[in-house]
């Protein structure tokens, strides 16, 4: 950690790159291996349910089958939105970006939670269950409103992934589709001190309430360099259209020093461990739907980015493609990322409240100094 005491150092870590700012028991990234509470995420994605992973994140242990059943029942009991929130959704501009609407609605949701300002562990646990259960409903309701469709009452028989698809389309999804979406949710569920989680912890460290922390996180996630990248990367692939167009699209942009969405990572410099799982899923889905050209286009982009910049695709490159091949509309991708990452946010918020210290770094002042105030009439 770069520690600045007394006189200010001129040395600093731009973007806090490689700075370890706090201890955490939630997520471990080492040598391009990603573990949640000690379990490799690839193992979890292959074997666990999303609810199991959430339980693990919040309890530091996998649930017994009874504990999992109780946890799922507690979540399902919260599969509803306040009537006022549904009315609110009906009044937001249809053309507003779903992430802007989600940010606003998470904030509104807090107004209807009588425990919103109680940060004690039992109240936080209940509030976390409510938030995690309701986020998918918000996203589905926002999407339906955008398409002039009415709210669908959620199905308490279904797990989170399946219920999200049900709330979106009004039909119980087939098991395979629900499981594929669930796998993506697991891969997106937690990722250490990424920008939005860090932002949530900064907010929690002031002892602000949980809804404020999640609003902070969702607001931070929507940026193009973070969660917003999955939508932009997919839309880029669709614009490119086919493998033979990739060079003409990417090379001039790289020459102009533009960013190609879905490539590069602050932490993984030799590839994102979540990508191989997502890529395999995309290849299977593309084969089934006759969209192999999209995979060929993505692979060509991968090859060019590696050759030109030594950069690898990140979770958002193939995460966005997976969402597209699962039939989701691209403007929803970042919201789906948000509903999944809410699991991680809430684990970090709880950890921050437990071991709190206000997060308040220092800046290295580089502005003007020692100026004399000049009265208004003399300027
Ligand atoms: C994720 C990201 C913000 C990480 O940024 P970072 O850790 O600060 O990495 P840097 O900006 O230091 O990257 C090093 C070099 O690679 C370049 N670079 C990084 N990602 C790039 C990208 N996607 N396209 C083109 N060039 C890129 C940088 O411009 C820089 O070039 P330079 O050395 O000539 O100045 C960055 O890779 C990026 O903007 N990616 C695209 C957005 C994205 O996919 N975000 C989702 C992340 S999961």
Question: Based on the structure, what is the number of domains in the chain?
Answer: 2
State the CATH number of the domain containing residue 237.
Answer: 1.10.230.10
User: What is the Cα–Cα distance from 228 to 37, expressed in whole angstroms?
Assistant: 26
**CA neighbours within 13 Å on the CB side: how many for 166?**
17
At 308, list the tokens. 């030109």
* Residue 263, phi then psi, degrees to nearest 5: -125, 150
At 98, list the tokens. 């779903």
pLDDT of residue 10: 54
316 is catalytic: yes
Same domain for 84 and 204? Answer: yes
Same domain for 129 and 244? Answer: no
In the predicted structure, residue 168 carries a pLDDT above the cut 90: yes
Same domain for 236 and 96? Answer: no
Tell me, using a 6 A CB cutoff, whether residue 140 lines ligand 1: no
Name the average pLDDT for the chain.
96
Contacts of 363 (CB under 8 A, 6+ apart): none
pLDDT digits (tens, 9 = 90+) for 27-85: 999 988 999 999 999 999 999 999 999 999 999 999 999 999 999 999 999 999 999 99
What's the 231 CA to ligand 1 centre distance in angstroms? 17
Q: Tell me the pLDDT band of 2, cut-offs 50, 70 and 90.
A: very low
Same domain for 93 and 52? Answer: yes
User: What is the Cα–Cα distance from 210 to 222, expressed in whole angstroms?
Assistant: 19
Query: With the CA atoms of 108, 112, 116 and 117 taken in that order, what torsion angle do they form, in degrees rounded to the nearest 10?
Result: 90
Mutate to test the pocket of ligand 1, among 264, 267, 309 (most ligand atoms within 8 A of CB): 264
Tell me, using a 6 A CB cutoff, whether residue 316 lines ligand 1: yes
Same domain for 254 and 170? Answer: no
Task: Output the 3-class SS for 15-73.
Answer: HHCCCCCCCCCCEEEECCEEEECCEEHHHHHHHCCHHHHHHHHHHCCCCCHHHHHHHHH
Of the two residues 156 and 1, the one the predictor is more confident about is 156
Same domain for 155 and 71? Answer: yes
- DSSP line for 273-337: TTHHHHHHHHHHHHHHHT-HHHHHHHHHHHHHHHHHH---B-HHHHHHHHHHHTT--GGGHHHHH
What's the 232 CA to ligand 1 centre distance in angstroms? 14
**CA neighbours within 13 Å on the CB side: how many for 371?**
6
pLDDT of residue 31: 82
pLDDT of residue 12: 78
Q: Per the residue annotation, which of 265, 272, 348, 370 is the catalytic one?
A: 265
Minimum-distance ligand 1 atom for the alpha carbon of 314: 48
pLDDT of residue 7: 47
Q: What is the rounded average pLDDT of the residues 308-318?
A: 98
- 337 within a domain of the structure (yes/no): yes
**Domain enclosing residue 205, as ranges:** 37-174+190-222+333-354
118 is catalytic: no
Q: Per the residue annotation, which of 113, 209, 272, 316 is the catalytic one?
A: 316
Same domain for 148 and 244? Answer: no
Closest CA to 128 of 226, 209, 19: 209
For tokens 């995309």, what's the residue?
282
User: What is the Cα–Cα distance from 106 to 85, expressed in whole angstroms?
Assistant: 10
State the CATH number of the domain containing residue 109.
Answer: 1.10.580.10
Tell me, using a 6 A CB cutoff, whether residue 344 lines ligand 1: no
Tally of CB atoms within 10 A around 225: 12
Q: At what angle do helices 83-91 and 98-111 cross, to 10 degrees?
A: 150
User: What is the Cα–Cα distance from 183 to 209, expressed in whole angstroms?
Assistant: 30
What's the 259 CA to ligand 1 centre distance in angstroms? 7
pLDDT digits (tens, 9 = 90+) for 249-275: 999 999 999 999 999 999 999 999 999
Q: What is the rounded average pLDDT of the residues 12-37?
A: 94
In the predicted structure, residue 190 carries a pLDDT above the cut 90: yes
Tell me, using a 6 A CB cutoff, whether residue 309 lines ligand 1: yes
- 207 within a domain of the structure (yes/no): yes
pLDDT digits (tens, 9 = 90+) for 234-254: 999 999 999 999 999 999 999
Tell me, using a 6 A CB cutoff, whether residue 314 lines ligand 1: yes
Tell me, using a 6 A CB cutoff, whether residue 83 lines ligand 1: no
Q: Tell me the pLDDT band of 6, cut-offs 50, 70 and 90.
A: very low
Same domain for 154 and 293? Answer: no
User: What is the Cα–Cα distance from 312 to 297, expressed in whole angstroms?
Assistant: 15
């Amino acid at each position: 950690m770069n520690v600045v005491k007394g006189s200010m150092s001129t040395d600093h870590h731009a973007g806090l790159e490689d700075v370890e700012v706090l201890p955490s028991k939630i997520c471990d990234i080492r040598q391009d291996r990603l573990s949640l509470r000690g379990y490799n995420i690839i193992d979890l994605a292959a074997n666990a349910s999303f609810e199991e992973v959430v339980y693990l994140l919040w309890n530091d242990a996998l649930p017994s089958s009874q504990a999992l059943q109780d946890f799922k029942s507690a979540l399902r009991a919260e599969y509803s939105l306040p009537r006022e929130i549904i009315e609110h959704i009906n009044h937001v501009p249809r053309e507003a970006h779903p992430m802007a609407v989600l940010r606003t609605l998470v904030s509104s949701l807090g107004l209807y939670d009588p425990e919103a300002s109680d940060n004690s562990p039992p109240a936080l646990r209940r509030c976390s269950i409510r938030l995690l259960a309701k986020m998918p409903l918000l996203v589905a309701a926002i999407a339906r409103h955008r398409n002039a469709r009415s709210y669908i009452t959620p199905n308490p028989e279904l797990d989170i992934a399946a219920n999200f698809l049900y709330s979106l389309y009004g039909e119980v999804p087939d098991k395979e589709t629900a499981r594929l979406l669930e796998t993506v949710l697991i891969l997106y569920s937690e990722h250490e001190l990424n920008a939005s989680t860090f932002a949530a912890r900064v907010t929690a460290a002031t002892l602000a309430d949980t809804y404020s922390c999640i609003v902070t996180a969702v607001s931070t996630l929507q940026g193009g360099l973070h969660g917003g990248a999955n939508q932009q990367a997919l839309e880029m692939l669709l614009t490119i259209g086919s493998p033979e167009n990739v060079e003409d699209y990417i090379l001039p942009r790289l020459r102009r020093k533009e960013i190609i969405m879905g490539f590069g990572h602050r932490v993984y410099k030799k590839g994102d461990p979540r990508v191989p799982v997502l890529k395999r899923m995309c290849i299977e889905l593309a084969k089934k739907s006759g969209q192999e050209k999209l995979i060929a286009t993505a692979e060509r982009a991968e090859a060019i980015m590696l050759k030109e910049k030594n950069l690898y695709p990140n979770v958002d490159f193939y995460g966005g493609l997976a969402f597209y091949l699962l039939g989701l509309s691209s403007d929803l991708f970042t919201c789906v990322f948000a509903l999944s990452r809410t699991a991680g946010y809430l684990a970090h918020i709880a950890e921050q409240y437990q071991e709190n210290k206000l997060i308040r770094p220092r800046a290295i002042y580089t502005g003007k100094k020692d100026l004399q105030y000049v009265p208004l009439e003399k300027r």
